[in-house]
Structures are given as C-alpha cells and as structure tokens.
Amino acid sequence: MRDDDALEKAASLLRRAERVAVLTGAGVSTESGIPDFRSPGGLWSRYDPSKLTFDKFVASADTRRLYWEIATESYPVLRDAEPNAAHRAVAALERCGKLLLLVTQNVDGLHQKAGTSDEKIIEIHGSSLRVTCIDCGAPHDREEVHARVLDGDVAPGCDHCGGRLKPATVSFGQAMPERETLAAFQAARSCDLMLVIGSSLVVYPAAGLPDEAVRGGASLIIVNNEATDKDHLAAATLGGSAGESMSLLLRRAGLDGADG
C-alpha cells in the first residue's frame, strides 16, 4: 500500500470510529527529547537491568542506592520535557469525543501535560513523576524526594513508616498493576479502532493489546517509524515520526480543528 493510500485508509477508519483505544510507546516520548532506555546510549546500555530487578531492590540497600542514582539522573529530563504533536493529537481525539482510553507505556506524564484527562489514561508501566512506599503504599512528592537524594539521602525512606521508597514505575520482575492491565484489555476488547503510536510492540502485556482488539472486531492502525511484528494485523501502517504522522492523520480525517 502506498503511503498516501495508507494515510487515506487510516483517515477513513478514524473518521468513522466512535470508540478509539490508543496505545503509545517510547517513539512518542523520544520526539520530546526523552531517550529510549532500550536504544544505544540509553540507560540499559549503561546499566545492567538484571542487577536492578524488583526483588533485588527490595532485598539490597546497594541496589536501592544504584536505583535512586539512575532515577535521579533521569528525573529532570522527564520533569522538564514538553509534549509534542503526537501527544496533542491524542488529546484532540478526546476533545472530539472519540477517545475510549489511552494506554501508555511511557512514564513521563506528557499525555497529561498535553491535556488528556487522567480518567482517560492508563499508565501501564507506572509513572516516574510519583514516588510510593513499597511497604505501606504511602505516596510521596517526587520533587521533594528528588531534593532529598541530591542532598545526600541516597536511598530515601518513607516519611510515614520508614519503609523503602521507589519511583512509581514497574521494575523488571515486578508484577504489573492488575486494575490498570484489566482496564487496558477491556478497552481493547470494546473499541472499534485501535491506534498504536510509537510502540515497537515487543514489550508485553501491552504488546498483546492489538491482538485483543483485532480479535474483538476492531480495526488497527499502527504509526511507527519501523516495522513491527503486528503490521500484518493492521488495516493501515504509517511510517515516519509520530508527531508528523499523527498531525497528517488528523488533518486528513478532518479532525485537526480539535487540536487546539
């Protein structure tokens, strides 16, 4: 299918859709200057993720110190990043009444900054902008904890119980959040269109959402700068940058007036 034919097909599907489930991945965040952890030069090329599993975080003070060292390095980049055209396009889908649910694999909060409502977002891998005590569950302000680490509290403890604080992201070996995962798959089953933006579709369980949507009778559009293993399921695939492709898609679908 030629690029223009794919764009027209995707636009036609989006124009007719009433219940759009969106899945976004790292390709959306990188356009806001946030490095993909798995890419060359990313965190996992400099640190061994097998040494930073959840079990090791729980058991080892040394692992917690290293974890917070990495988290303190990455937090300002996430905190200060700004949404791009892809984030704004998803927010536009909510404004025009089409967005059923956004499931994001990203932990940067940029969809909220772009205007997508909290009740329409599932952060399936958690958020780096929050901190939780893994012992008592108490939430903590990330900015305050960040300042504590910079001041020398290299493995900060909970203000309430003295337990172990951790950024509210899902670590290697940590159980996925049950409520959020169930909601994501329910949206995939009940949508009439699934739109995947900037995800390589290799990290599960999120990578299983397109399969679930197609089994439920929904159409699938994939927007990604590289081919994915799910492209054969898609009614249309769009290459190039997430922001540019989503801007073109909304314009072709006649929905660009909602992008304000």
Closest CA to 149 of 233, 230, 240, 74: 74
Please state, rounded to an integer, the average pLDDT across all residues of the chain: 93
Write out the residue limits of the CATH 3.30.1600.10 domain(s) in the chain.
35-80+127-169
Query: At residue 43, does pLDDT exceed 90?
Result: no
- When pLDDT is cut at 50, 70 and 90, the band that residue 35 belongs to is confident
pLDDT(2) > 90 = no
Q: Report the DSSP pairing between strands 193-197 and 126-133.
A: unpaired
* ∠ Cα 125 129 203 (to 5°): 15
Spatial contact of 68 and 149, defined as CB atoms under 8 Å apart: yes
Question: In the chain, which residues fall in CATH 3.40.50.1220?
Answer: 1-34+83-125+176-260
| Percent over 70 (pLDDT), the chain | 93
The answer, yes or no, to whether residue 259 has pLDDT greater than 80, is no
Measure the CA–CA gap between 45 and 39, rounded to whole angstroms. Answer: 7
pLDDT band at 13 (very low <50, low <70, confident <90, very high): very high
pLDDT band for 17, please (50, 70, 90 cuts). Answer: very high
Instruction: Say if residue 22's pLDDT is above 70.
Output: yes
Read off the pLDDT band of 184 (50, 70, 90).
very high
Expressed in percent and rounded to 5, the helix, strand and coil fractions of the chain are 45, 15, 35
* Confidence category of residue 44, pLDDT binned at 50, 70, 90: low
Reported as a single tens digit per residue, the pLDDT across 105-139 is: 999 999 999 999 999 999 999 999 999 999 999 99
pTM to 2 decimal places: 0.92
Radius of gyration of the chain (CA): 19
Task: Tell me how far apart the terminal alpha carbons of the chain are, to the nearest angstrom.
Answer: 31
Q: Please give the CATH topology (third level) of the domain spanning 35-80+127-169.
A: SIR2/SIRT2 'Small Domain' (3.30.1600)
| Over residues 186-215, mean pLDDT | 97
Mean pLDDT of 176-196: 97
- How is domain 1-34+83-125+176-260 classified at the CATH fold level? Rossmann fold (3.40.50)
Cα separation, 64 vs 140, whole angstroms = 17
The better pLDDT of the pair 260, 172 is held by: 172
Q: pLDDT at residue 99 above 60?
A: yes
Going by pLDDT thresholds of 50, 70 and 90, the confidence category of residue 6 is very high
Catalytically annotated residues: 125
Place of tokens 């949404």: 83
Angle between helices 61-80 and 142-150 (to 10 degrees): 120
